[in-house]
Amino acid sequence: MRSHTTSSSPGRRTGRHNPIPVRYVFAGVVVVALFIMFPLLTVWKQAYITGASVIQKDLADSLDVLTQRAARLRMTVEELSSNERIERLAHDWLDLGHPSADRIVIVHMSPEHSSTTIAGMMLSWKFLSIIRRSLEQERG
């Protein structure tokens, strides 16, 4: 049997406790933090996904509403720009009728004067002013 001595020899423990190394304390804190943060991150991720799906649903609903509104506007444009309606308004409100054959003027455009150039646009304005003058003369 061995006898216990009070002298300290290397490799033998005395009555004092040795301090725990800092790296073990740090590793323990990291492990505890991971155990706490993992469920919190899982809940945050689920809340984020739920919020994103609600926003996506709202945007899809908005897109449906805007698509329906665009379809209604297209129908209104087609209705308001129909030739029959324009002719009816011109006849009823402005007392305009179809011009007689001698009042119709055909304006020939040269190929270099297309409607996209400034000269072409000026020629279009001249054409419209000729039509306007002929309609004014018909009234008065």
Q: What is the pLDDT of residues 115-126, one digit of tens each?
A: 556 555 556 666
Global confidence as pTM: 0.36
36 and 70 both lie in a single domain: yes
33-51 average pLDDT score: 91
13-37 average pLDDT score: 83
Residue type for 64, please?
A: D
Domain presence at residue 114: yes
Domain presence at residue 39: yes
* Contact indicator for 113, 119 with CB cutoff of 8 Å: yes
71-85 average pLDDT score: 86
76 and 103 both lie in a single domain: no
102 and 77 both lie in a single domain: no
26 and 65 both lie in a single domain: yes
Check pLDDT > 90 for residue 110: no
- pLDDT value, residue 68: 92
73 and 115 both lie in a single domain: no
Domain presence at residue 51: yes
32 and 73 both lie in a single domain: yes
- pLDDT value, residue 31: 92
Q: Which residue among 55, 81, 107 closes a domain?
A: 81
Domain presence at residue 41: yes
Domain presence at residue 13: no
Domain presence at residue 2: no
Domain span holding position 60: 21-81
Q: How many structural domains compose the chain?
A: 2
Domain presence at residue 130: yes
Domain presence at residue 55: yes
* Contact indicator for 103, 138 with CB cutoff of 8 Å: yes
Contacts of 121 (CB under 8 A, 6+ apart): 115
Nearest by Cα to 99 from 52, 44, 136: 136
